[in-house]
Amino acid sequence: MKKTIIEWTISIGLAVVLVFVIKTFVFDTFRVDGSSMNETFQDGDRVIVNKFMNFFKDEYDTGDVVVFHANSEDLHIKRVIGTPGDTVRVEDNELIINDEVYVEPYIDHPFGLRTHEYLVSDLNGEEIPEDKYIMIGDNRTNSRDSRHYGLVDREAIIGEVVLRIWPLSTFTYNFK
Active site residues: 36, 78
How far separated are the first and last CA of the chain, in Å rounded? 55
Alpha-carbon gap, residue 160 to 25, rounded angstroms: 13
Alpha-carbon gap, residue 27 to 36, rounded angstroms: 23
